Amino acid sequence: MGTRKIVVLLVTIALILCIPASGFAGKIQKELVEESTLDQVLRRGVLRVGMSTFVPWAMRDKTGKLVGFEIDVARRLAKDMGVKVQFAPTKWAGIIPALLTGKFDVIIGGMGILPKRNLKVNFSIPYDETGMSLVANKKLAAGFKSLDDFNKKGVVISVRLGATPVAAAKKYMPKAELRQFDDESEAIQEVVNGRAHAMVASAPLPAFLSLKYPGRLFLPLKGTFTKEPIGFAVRKSDFDTLNFFNNWITVVKAEGWLKERKHYWFETRDWEGLLK
């Protein structure tokens, strides 16, 4: 083989080897530069938590301070990470898009683990479980005792926009009229004021409402009619952060802290004085 052919061959081999190597090196460099959410939180010293107000998950007390089960969970998580916590109250319908655009680091807001949501975000292992329940207007829904009673034309159901009660109402009461509201308080007032037969919401809110408005509301069903695991939501491809959250949940479950906090917020009314 002539000298010229050898040079051409060597140059060709070099080009073949260098181009993918350069691309591979660029990919490695990009991965090294990108930080996980966990690293960003530790460097920043602040955990930004996306949430929305749901009784008793997250509420404002009489001084305007956020309190509730999810608030306790987020505060304990931040404390164990050695950082401060910053809450970002967000309308439920837009909470996943807000997470994806980086407005906060994690959603801790009673979010049910659903396949449709899981296509957009990654979920931690469950740290809680809830279910859908009904609270009804005594006058409009007099004699109603089953889901079938509410699954009729002319029946009006109020729900919070974008939340899992919407899916539950559509599945179990497809014949009823569904009225969706941005704020939970608006959905509550719809049934309290007799403009809706019932409201679908996560337990234990319906039970609390029946106690708060005993002259107007009642519980037509015993317990919940669905079951739903609750998890933290994080952005896709952030496995280090997800690993930390999963292990943290495992630890606080094992020590009984989650059970104690859930008992306080869901099975007692000892916190009611905080709101008055």
pLDDT tens by residue, the chain, 276 residues? 555 555 445 545 554 455 444 444 344 334 434 789 999 999 999 999 999 988 889 999 999 999 999 999 999 999 999 999 999 999 988 999 999 999 999 999 989 898 999 999 999 999 998 889 999 999 999 999 999 999 999 999 999 987 688 989 999 999 999 999 988 899 999 999 999 999 999 888 898 899 889 999 999 998 899 988 999 999 999 999 999 999 999 999 999 999 999 999 988 888 988 887
**Number of alpha carbons in the 13 Å side-chain half-sphere of residue 104:** 25
The two three-digit tokens of residue 97, written as one number:
């898009």
Name residue 116's amino acid. Answer: K
In whole angstroms, give the CA distance from residue 192 to residue 138: 9
Q: What is the pTM of this model?
A: 0.72
Domains of the chain by range and CATH? 37-129+228-275 (3.40.190.10), 135-218 (3.40.190.10)
CB distance 197 to 136 below 8 Å: yes
Sheet holding 46-51, edge to edge: 84-89, 46-51, 106-107, 233-234, 122-123
